[in-house]
A = this chain, B = another copy of it.
Amino acid sequence: MITSAKRVFLSAVALTLCNPVCADTLVSTQDEFRQAISTATPGDTIIMADGEWNDFEMLFSGVGSSDEPITLTAQNKGSVIITGQSNLRLVGEYLVVSGLVFKDGYSPTNTVVSFRAASGRLASHSRVTELVIDHFNNPERFETDFWVMMYGQHNRFDHNFLAGKSNAGVTMAVRLDSENSRENYHQIDHNYFGPRPILGSNGGETLRIGTSQYSLTDSFTLIEYNYFDRRDGEVEIISSKSGSNTFRGNVFFESRGTLTLRHGNDNLIEDNVFLGNGVDHTGGIRVINKRQTVRNNYLSNLKGHRFGGALVVMNGVPNSPINRYHQVEDSVIANNTIIESDHIELAAGADSERSAPPIRTTFQNNLIINAEVKDSIAVHGDISGITFSDNITSGILVFPSNQGFEARTLSLVEGSNGLLYPGAALADIGVSKSLSVLDRKDTGPSWYPKPGYEEAFDRGDVSTVVGGNDTLSDVVANSLPGDVIELEPGEYIVSKFLAIAHPLTIRGVTDGETRPIIKFERSTLFELKDGGSLKLEGITIDGSMAPDTYNNSVIRTSRYSMLNNYELYIDDVQVRNLNVNHSFHFLKVAMHTMAENIEIRNSDFQDITGHILALNRETDDLGIYNAEYVTIQNSSFINIEGSLATIYRGGTDESTFGPHFRLENSTLDNVGNGSRNSSQASVSLLGVQSTFISDNQFTNSAPIRVIHTVGEPVTTLSENVFSNTMAPIIREFQRPVL
């Protein structure tokens, strides 16, 4: 149990007290900083001068006292900017850091803020508050590092802003790997965890408490009143891997993934609010292990399924190794409200290995409501070890148990806290009316703005270009994010790469039958730089002037790692003559790039020696992939030697929701038959999690090949017509032996 008596935190008041002997020292250089740190005594404050501190590895070492900590702060909070190759380490006791901003750089070591200096040299009774880490990313997407590593005991991390981590690695972790980091009583509260984009791999968690190795140890970490805003990294938003943690009063807003009790026992999840707003793969709480309590949580409009559902109770592995799935035992799931959520999963993951069902577990006083009747509770195995009682439902088709559920028809009204409650009074069912909902503005430092919502495309200026030699180059180079470039009908000859560094629309103006036609002389027409996204509408692209070398493309990503996921929209585009040499692709991507969304509509492609969408660069089988959503509709493809799409997601982990692939109402004629098309498929999908191929006409083409790897991929093929085309091949993965 958690005893509040053990929690001794530095209060905000301590920051403002100073007895007569303590000193405020303003430092302006790295040497002055080091000098001030080395001579600081309890009660002292080191004040960093406003401005930019570049390439600064800050070591804050000292011993303060409970009444008189040593404080490191900014001359003006938010005006001390740490940039370049920089980081911060704390070692000692009773240290306080506040007011610093890390941006425009990344750590040269594996951590930005670490509560230790080196192995064995830890910080305890220390606090980091009102700190900002904003897109402080290693430029290599799959160079793993961490923003905050908590070691030691009795530390507090509060009112901080952490947003935009885009490279691999947990945003924040509590480490228990040494004796004096366990039973740590850390407090993590009132932080703003801002948007984290889809990583497209394992390693995108927001917060991890412990590791499997020490997961049977108590951590006693309190995680309360934090705001998780669009944290989409991977399937786990929080991964609790230790015992006796409390997750209380947090808000999860439009965040893909779940709060997962992955390892460790005796954890408490209460008073949290999950607002999915219908966003794909938004999830709630996943329960594994012993003596877990999940109560008074509000889960609304969550669309996740399987391990990412609104509420998931897993099956375990009998006598599980420390790093697999322990059986759910003696757990309580009570007084939760689940509204308009698609999937509650019981005995989830049951298979030959995970054969130990939940036991001695209660599921009671929960409220489950859908506006329209649907089948949102799934049972995957034996749930006789779960006792259901006093649950009330509305709009649920099938109950997991004959008893413990009462169906009603309930309407919802908004409570004073903004949450929805049944119009009818239901005593002690669902969340309490007094549940307090954390306001986003009460998290993070008050002085640092939180990100809004902005459209990527079509929000800037519109400029018009006429045909000729290189008339496009300068306009593209001088464009701003969201701009639109309109092309008059005519021929455009492009002798240089067009670098797309931000969202940009290129739109043809058609004059009767005449359209703008773009020809290009380099190995690609468009190169998407990190941050770039592209929308093409109403143009014709002709590859006949491309160089007589293999491996050309119309669009390619940066050849380097891209931290930003990109979007690509193709509508009413004709693509011709990509055939001056072999392997001429429409879209070619590099390793460690990620398309968040690719859509092709109302377009036609003809005479192409490569692939249309070559999304297969991650062949290391590490669970990484190159595109989250790919949609092709109402388009035609004729004489394509490569595949219409080749998407590769290898690896055996279950950390991602994608890739997703959708092909509808399109025609393929002689697609995929080229001798260099190694998959020998018109559509080649490996490890894709969601496939929908419907209402298409395949003629004289190579077959569709779908290889399932891990997870429970959903593959739907319907209403396709195959003429002189082998039937689709769908099979489970087997390693090819070369």
Contacts and interface: CB of A to CB of B under 8 A. Distances in A.
Interface in A16-63: none
A678 B737 CA distance: 7
B583 A551 contact: no
Contact of A110 (B495, B592, B679): B495
A556 to B, nearest CB: 11
A144 B621 contact: no
Interface string A634-665: 00000000000000000000000000000000
A453 B476 CA distance: 45
B559 A559 contact: no
Interface in A519-576: 521-523, 547-551, 559-561
A736 B737 CA distance: 8
Contacts of A467: none
Choose among A142, A495, A591 the residue with the greatest number of B CB atoms under 10 Å from its CB: A495
A169 B550 CA distance: 12
Interface string A125-152: 0000000000000001011100000000
A561 B561 contact: no
A686 interface: yes
A73 to B, nearest CB: 26
Interface in A576-635: 583, 591-592, 619-622
Copies in the complex: 2
B203 A549 contact: yes
Contacts of A676: 621
A707 B736 CA distance: 15
Contacts of A735: 678, 680
A684 B619 contact: no
A424 interface: no
Given A523-B143, A550-B622, A684 B738 contact: yes
A583 B622 contact: yes
B118 A469 contact: yes
Interface extent on A, as a size class?
A: 35 or more
A738 B211 contact: no
A144 B583 contact: no
Contacts of A169: 549
Contacts of A211: 548
A496 interface: yes
Given A109-B522, A143-B523, A559-B560, A680 B551 contact: no
Contacts of A550: 622
A323 to B, nearest CB: 11
A620 B551 contact: yes
A550 B550 CA distance: 33
A496 B108 contact: yes
Contact of A560 (B109, B547, B551, B560): B560
B680 A737 contact: yes
Contacts of A619: 619
Given A551-B622, A559-B140, A621-B678, A738 B707 contact: yes
Contacts of A679: 737-738
A326 interface: no
Contacts of A523: 143-144
Interface string A93-125: 000000000000000111000000010000000
A169 B495 CA distance: 16
A140 B496 CA distance: 15
A708 interface: no
Given A561-B559, A678-B621, A680-B737, A109 B591 contact: no
A32 to B, nearest CB: 21
A498 B374 CA distance: 57
Nearest to A681: B738
Contacts of A684: 738
A319 B737 CA distance: 40
A248 interface: no
Nearest to A550: B622
A547 B109 contact: no
A551 B203 CA distance: 13
A567 to B, nearest CB: 24
A705 interface: yes
Contacts of A559: 140, 560-561, 592
A561 B559 CA distance: 9
Given A583-B620, A680-B737, 15 more contacts: A108-B496, A108-B497, A110-B495, A142-B551, A143-B523, A144-B523, A551-B620, A559-B592, A619-B619, A621-B676, A679-B737, A680-B735, A705-B738, A707-B738, A736-B738
8 contacts: A110-B495, A142-B551, A169-B549, A551-B620, A583-B622, A678-B736, A678-B738, A680-B737
Interface of A: 108-110, 118, 140, 142-144, 168-169, 203, 211, 469, 493, 495-497, 521-523, 547-551, 559-561, 583, 591-592, 619-622, 676, 678-680, 684, 686, 705, 707, 735-738
